[in-house]
């Protein structure tokens, strides 16, 4: 290359054979934004990334809260059956710590809320509440039927249906 055909980079002193080659080098290696456009520093990029993550997290939280607050309430499978038991004065006595009572509740699923239930245990689980002592409840779960008879065990929904004349779905 002769001296008159050389184009030199003012930043890194590299020489090029054409103006186009020098321009390409300057744009790829030493690009500077036009005046008036501020180049983002690494600190600003980190702040922007942190804000973006924060906003995404907030949007997810708001979305989940909205879904939980406004999700459609669907009736439980046994709502009518459980309500029939309550309407017919059928009551279950139980204790919060009783595994068999939990098994009985689980059979009803979301419909359990409609069953007439009396909690017999004190909050610490060490004694029986007077309502159950006075009723003579000796074991859990105890089902009391409308005729006053009692059954002390977990009952299938089918059996409860038979002895109460409440129809299962």
Structural domains counted in the chain? 3
In this structure, the answer to whether residues 98 and 157 fall within a common structural domain is: yes
In this structure, the answer to whether residues 47 and 34 fall within a common structural domain is: no
In this structure, the answer to whether residues 29 and 92 fall within a common structural domain is: no
> In which element (H, E) is residue 67 found?
helix 42-70
In this structure, the answer to whether residues 55 and 66 fall within a common structural domain is: yes
Q: Model confidence over 144-153: pLDDT tens digits?
A: 999 999 999 9
DSSP SS3 for 72: coil
**Positions of the chain with pLDDT under 70:** 1-4, 34-43, 72-74
The order of strands in the sheet holding 116-119 is 116-119, 91-94, 142-144, 150-152
Task: Find residue 43's DSSP bridge partners.
Answer: none
In this structure, the answer to whether residues 149 and 101 fall within a common structural domain is: yes
In this structure, the answer to whether residues 133 and 159 fall within a common structural domain is: yes
Phi, psi of 37 (to 5 degrees): -105, 120
In this structure, the answer to whether residues 34 and 47 fall within a common structural domain is: no
Q: Rounded to whole angstroms, what are the CA distances from 79 to 71, 134, 156, 169?
A: 19, 30, 16, 9
Say if 169 falls within a structural domain: no
The pTM of the full predicted model, rounded to 2 decimals, is 0.57
d(CA 2, CA 153): 105
Last residue of a domain, one of 49, 71, 93: 71
3-state helix, strand, coil in the chain (%, to 5): 50, 10, 40
Q: Which residue segment(s) compose the domain that 33 sits in?
A: 1-38
């Amino acid at each position: 290359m002769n001296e008159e055909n050389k184009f030199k980079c003012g930043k890194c002193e590299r020489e090029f054979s054409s103006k186009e080659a020098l321009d390409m080098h300057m744009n790829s290696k030493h690009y500077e934004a036009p005046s008036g456009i501020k180049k983002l520093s690494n600190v600003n990029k980190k702040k922007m990334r942190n804000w973006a993550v924060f906003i995404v997290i907030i949007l997810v939280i708001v979305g989940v809260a909205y879904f939980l607050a406004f999700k459609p309430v669907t009736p439980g499978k046994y709502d009518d059956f459980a309500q029939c038991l309550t309407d017919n004065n059928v009551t279950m006595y139980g204790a919060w710590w009783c595994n068999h009572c939990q098994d009985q509740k689980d059979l009803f699923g979301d419909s359990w809320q409609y069953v007439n239930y009396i909690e017999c245990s004190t909050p610490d689980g060490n004694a029986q509440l007077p309502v159950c002592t006075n009723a003579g409840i000796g074991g859990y779960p105890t089902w009391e039927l409308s005729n006053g008879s009692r059954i002390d065990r977990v009952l299938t929904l089918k059996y409860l249906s038979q002895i109460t004349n409440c129809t299962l779905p």
